[in-house]
Structure formats: C-alpha cells, structure tokens
Structure 1
C-alpha cells in the first residue's frame, strides 16, 4: 500500500491551541496538494485523534474558508468538527476532529473485493450532499468563480503542469485554459457541491460513507464538479468502477462536455 503519511516532529503552533496538542504523536500527510501542511495527531492517552491544518499567505485564507464551511456543514453532513482555529496576519491553524473509518482510497486499494460496495457508498453519499437545498447554502463555487481563480493561479505561475493527468501530459496551463474556453458556455445544473470529491477525502465504515474532509471548496456549482473528480479518481481502479459510480448516482447518459470541462478545470488547482 502506498505510504500516505510519515512521522514527524510537532511544528510551532499558537499558544492558545498548543496546550491541546501536548502529548500527541505527529504524522504529516504526504498526499494533499493544497500547499498547506496537514498533520495527524494520535497516541495521546485518553484523548481522541485530531488533525491540524496550517499554512501561510493565500493558504491561510483557504484554511479560514474551510473552517467556515465545516461549521456550516455541521448537522447537514458528517464532517470534522472544528476543535480550534487561529488566524493572524499571515497564517492560520485549523484543529479538527478525526473521522471514523478508513479513507475510500485505502479501502479500495487494500480490499479489491469491496470496491463495488465502496463505489455504491460514494454515489449514495454524493446524492445526499447534492440533495441539500441550494437556497440554504451561502457559498458559491460555480465554474465562473473558479475560472477567475484559475486565471489568477495561471498568471502567478502556481499551476503544477507536471501533475496533469495523462491525457494532458506535456500541456501548458495556457493550453488547458484555451481548451476549456472551447467548451463554454455551460448550462449549470446547480447543487451544493464538495468541490474536491476524491477518494482520499471520503471515509468509509461498515459499507457506508461516514464522513468527508477537505471542505474548503464547498459551495453551489454544477453537479459535474463533483462527479468528474470522483470519476477521474476511480479510473485508477478501472472503467467498471467509473461506470458503476455514475450508474449508482443516477447518470444514464454522461454529459461528456461537462465531464471534460471540469476535469480540465481541476488541473489548474
């Protein structure tokens, strides 16, 4: 199994949360690509596991966005609870409860026989998320909003072109941008989306999704924002998993234009 975290020393943290962190062992996540740092805190007698996400500059603002969205999700979907939050002029620290269960990627990788069950659970949970009333959500994550953010990232040289999917290997960020423009305009089917609905962000217990993490992009957008990312993740486990996911969600005829657009848009983040 791919190693997805490594033991590490505790980083510096603000005084008003550092006391909570005493006595834990630390491991740093090696999977996330947000630009911040994510740590798992574990092994403290009589205390629950926690996660700490921290970062500086623009990453600090993204962490603050996640904190606000986690508090909004409480009572709507199972997600980490906010156990502490500090933001100063240049950095932010978000302390969260750990999720039960096992990350969907880990479970599918370790137990191939469970893949159909996990795929069905991922689809069922996404239907539940997308059923949240749009008028209850104060956050916008539609493609117009994300295109503006993508343009800023391209101009600032922040896009990792070496990490593009195989279909776009060797492309520049500008080529991805230009290819997306050909697919516009899109007719959005607006729902409340997660924004990064990937196998590492969903936790499974007893054949059901028991929680979701990395909620910083939660907001109203076209449903293919989530469908495309999960479809792409499931490609690692074969086309049968991809097709089963879409069918279990309720997609009879795939909108290839939207699928392609959102896959390219995700390359820029």
Structure 2
C-alpha cells in the first residue's frame, strides 16, 4: 500500500524513512520494514477484522513477560488496521544459518515453547480454547477467509465446511492449558547469542492446550527441513511423548486460519 493512503499521523512518524516489503512467513497482512540510520520498525497493514487489534493488545500484555515487539502506533483507518512496532533482534529460525544447523534450531524451538508455557495464565485475558477457535474458524469460512490452495497435500477434506464439521465432532480432550503462541512456526521465532531473542506474529496467542503450538511446530519442522528426522529430537528436548492424535487435529484446525 502506498504511504499516501496511510493515516496522517502515521505518515508523520515515518516521514523520511526508507522502506521495503517483507515477504517472509505466511502472514495475511502486508508487512513493511521502515528504517533509517538510527531505528528500524515493522509496519503491518491488514483489512480491519480485529486480528491486528488483538495482536497489539497481546504485545502490550506480554511486555516484561516475553521478548516481543513494542507497539509504536496502532490505528484503524478507512477499512484497514495499521500496527507499527519495534524490530526483534536476532535471526529467524528459518534463516540459512539455522536451516544448515537443524539440531540447534530444534533445541531453540523447544526452548521457545518452554518460555511460552512458563508464563502465568492466571490473569491472561486471551482465550484460545477449542470452543473459541472453532467459532473463529466458522467466521473465517463464512467470510471467505479460508485459502484452500494453502492446505496441506495430505488434507483429505474437499471443502472447509466438511473439515469444520469433522473438527467439531472429533474434538480431543483439552489438557495442560498454557499460554501459546498460536502460530508457532520457524519464521515467527528469533534467536541471538544461542538463545531465544523474540517472538512475532502474536495475533493468535492465548490460553490453549499445549498441542496448539507443538502441532504447528511439528508441521513447520517438516516444511522447513523437508524431513521428519528431527521430530524425535524435538520431543526429546520437550521431555514428553508425542500425542499424534492431537498433532493431526491442531494441524487440521489451522487449515481454517
């Protein structure tokens, strides 16, 4: 989107900065990097339907709890949401370095999940339980927000409604609730100095079964490394045995997002 269409106060904030399109990851938002010799910001622009509004609220709640971006600016304007935030230091876990060092990436991915799960959910206002997720999935389906061209090759369902009915009728028992990222894949996790340095794309974060993140991480490992070889190592670092029923369920659920 051309800067001339931005809200006037946002144009003032970005005046004189260089910019470039950021096309890494699977975000449905337009993402732009704005920078000069002093600072670097990221701007997400998305048609207004609450996800960016929720993302900036989650980021604010997570300040001093997790390494996440800091909101600089948020506004809904002329049918679009605009979220400007600080840059996370480090490299994405899908960078060339980590793709060439998969065992290090797997350890860090497990560390990131443990960091998320360490957050107290006692006062967390963000509910991502299956009941909530299935309602959001229905909204996405009814508003033509489901992209079937992006479905997994082994998805056995012909239509979103057929998949949604299966998910409604085959809900696994939710156990071990924790704070979850909601879209836990390699492009959304950063590392610096051999440890997790930050998390981005937080609009789907909230309280859910731990397998919300574990399942999407398993999928991301397969996609990024082109093999299942590192799945056992991932679960070894987590210190748990995989529940494949839940992994399949949460991967299918994500097809509607």
Q: With structure 2 as the length reference, what TM-score do the two structures score?
A: 0.92
Instruction: Note closer, same or farther for the CA distance 1:100–1:145 as it changes in structure 2 (3 Å cut).
Output: same
Say whether the 8 Å CA contact 2:107–2:234 is kept in structure 1: yes
Relative contact order (alpha carbons < 8 A, sep ≥ 6): 1 or 2 greater? 2
SS of the residue aligned with 2:229? helix
**Which string of whole-angstrom CA distances, capped at 9 and with x for unpartnered residues, describes residues 202-238 of structure 1?**
1111221100001111110000000011110001212
Q: Distance in 1 between matches of 2:174 and 2:157?
A: 30
The alpha carbon displacement at 1:84 in A equals 1.5
Q: Distance in 2 between matches of 1:22 and 1:250?
A: 49
SS of the residue aligned with 1:180? helix
Instruction: Note closer, same or farther for the CA distance 1:230–1:11 as it changes in structure 2 (3 Å cut).
Output: farther
**Runs of at least 5 residues in structure 1 that lack an aligned partner in the other structure:** 1-7
Instruction: Note closer, same or farther for the CA distance 1:223–1:16 as it changes in structure 2 (3 Å cut).
Output: same
SS of the residue aligned with 2:183? coil
**Runs of at least 5 residues in structure 2 that lack an aligned partner in the other structure:** none
Q: Distance in 2 between matches of 1:153 and 1:102?
A: 32
2:39 aligned residue: 48
The alpha carbon displacement at 1:28 in A equals 1.5
Name whichever structure is richer in helix by fraction. 1
SS of the residue aligned with 1:35? coil
Instruction: Note closer, same or farther for the CA distance 1:193–1:57 as it changes in structure 2 (3 Å cut).
Output: same
Q: How does 1:60-71 map to 2 (within 5 A)?
A: 61-71=50-60
The alpha carbon displacement at 1:246 in A equals 1.9
Q: With structure 1 as the length reference, what TM-score do the two structures score?
A: 0.88
1:97 aligned residue: 86
Instruction: Note closer, same or farther for the CA distance 1:268–1:102 as it changes in structure 2 (3 Å cut).
Output: same
| Cα-Cα RMSD | 2.0
2:152 aligned residue: 165
Q: How does 1:1-80 map to 2 (within 5 A)?
A: 10=3, 12-42=5-35, 44-45=36-37, 47-58=38-49, 61-80=50-69
Q: Give the aligned length.
A: 255
Q: Distance in 2 between matches of 1:185 and 1:242?
A: 21
1:183 aligned residue: 170
Q: How does 1:125-204 map to 2 (within 5 A)?
A: 125-168=112-155, 171-204=158-191
Q: Distance in 2 between matches of 1:174 and 1:167?
A: 17
